[in-house]
Structure 1
Amino acid sequence: MKNEPEDRRSVYDDEVDGVPEPEFKRLSAEEAAEWRSRQPRESVWRLVLWQLLLGLLLVPLAWLLTRRAEVAGSAAYGVLCILLPTALMAYGLTSSGLARLIRRLFPGMSGLSLAGLFFWEGVKVLLALAMMWQAPRLVPGLSWLALVAGLVVALKAYWLELWMRSRRAARTSKIL
């Protein structure tokens, strides 16, 4: 090709910058256990909790601002359209019989974990879409604006949890 260098090995060599790559060092079982103990244990259920808390703040606020139960109900249903699929995905990835069976039969198989993540993400998206599709039938006096507000607030929980996680990690690294 026209833009390919003459000697490809010099471009793809590990020592192009003049600094040799450090040798890969396997950790002993004790070192690996010590490394794991320093890593914070995160749970996907914390995200579900944040979504629930934000929803519990939004629904009374929607009622206080409008004094209409339909608006509060629509906001609550919007939060549920995100909260319930997320909780189902969290259950599927962490607590379901299938997840436990895969972890037991194939320990350390990250490919299966990734496949499970894709599967449950698809289930989550389809359930959220189905719930929104059914909103006009299930929520009397539906306010689409309030429903979208509930969706947005519940989705912002992802960013809130990510921000809180980075703060916890920064705090933990300062301690260590």
Structure 2
Amino acid sequence: MTRDVPLNAQRSAGQDPWDDRTEGDTGDEQAFKPLSREQAQDLRARLPKLSPWTLVGWQAAAGAAMVVLWGLLTWQGDKAWSALFGAGSVVVPNALMAWGMTRRSAMNGGTAMLSFMVWELIKIILATAILVAVVLGFPPLSWPALLSTLVVALKANWLALLRRGRIRK
């Protein structure tokens, strides 16, 4: 039976305990190579930005398609309404977050991260509030219609990414 030796016991006595380099690393070699201005511009040209509004549009289109499918396949208005509520619980909070994140640029990375976290929290609270309001206020709710449309609308981001060619085989 072998016993694992702690990592700090494997280091030599004179080595800094905070040094996380392995044996093959050299002190002179940089792990991160910064890009030149031309390389950065070339990278930006090859990978164009994807607007959050494009993603919200794809989610709205996928949700609308599911509402039409539920309405046409079942001929029941309750299921179409349930599907609409499922799409709305995804699209409305994401549209609010897209608006909040794109209305002004952040000054630095910390501000951008804080802004993202605040808008993500708002999005989660709003989505939860919509779903709770639907459950409490719409008695003929169809759970399969609501949940299937919610999932399809959430997964519509993959369609946008596939269309942009970001996912390669």
Scaled to the shorter chain, the TM-score interval is 0.7 to 0.9
Larger helix proportion of the pair: 1
Aligned residue type for 1:130: A
Kindly state the Cα deviation for residue 59 of structure 1 after the two structures are TM-superposed: 0.9
* Gap regions ≥5 residues in structure 1: 171-176
Contact 2:161 2:167 in 1 (8 A): no
Name the CA distance, whole Å, in 2 between partners of 1:16 and 1:125.
Answer: 45
Length, aligned pairs only: 160
The alignment's TM-score, normalised by the length of structure 1, stands at: 0.75
| Residue 47 (structure 2) pairs with residue 42 (structure 1) | no
Query: 1:25/1:125 Cα in 2 relative to 1: closer, same or farther (>3 Å)?
Result: closer
Query: 1:91/1:23 Cα in 2 relative to 1: closer, same or farther (>3 Å)?
Result: closer
Contact 1:73 1:139 in 2 (8 A): no
Kindly state the Cα deviation for residue 140 of structure 1 after the two structures are TM-superposed: 5.5
| Residue 15 (structure 2) pairs with residue 16 (structure 1) | no
Alignment of 1:132-147 (within 5 A): 132-139=131-138, 141-147=140-146
Tell me the residue number matched to 2:11. Answer: 6
Secondary structure of 2:69's counterpart equals helix
Provide Cα deviations, 1:58-80, integer angstroms capped at 9, x if missing partner: 11110122110100010011110
Query: 1:23/1:88 Cα in 2 relative to 1: closer, same or farther (>3 Å)?
Result: closer
Kindly state the Cα deviation for residue 34 of structure 1 after the two structures are TM-superposed: 4.7
Q: CA RMSD in A?
A: 3.1
Q: Say which is worse superposed, 81-90 or 59-68, in terms of deviation.
A: 59-68
The alignment's TM-score, normalised by the length of structure 2, stands at: 0.77
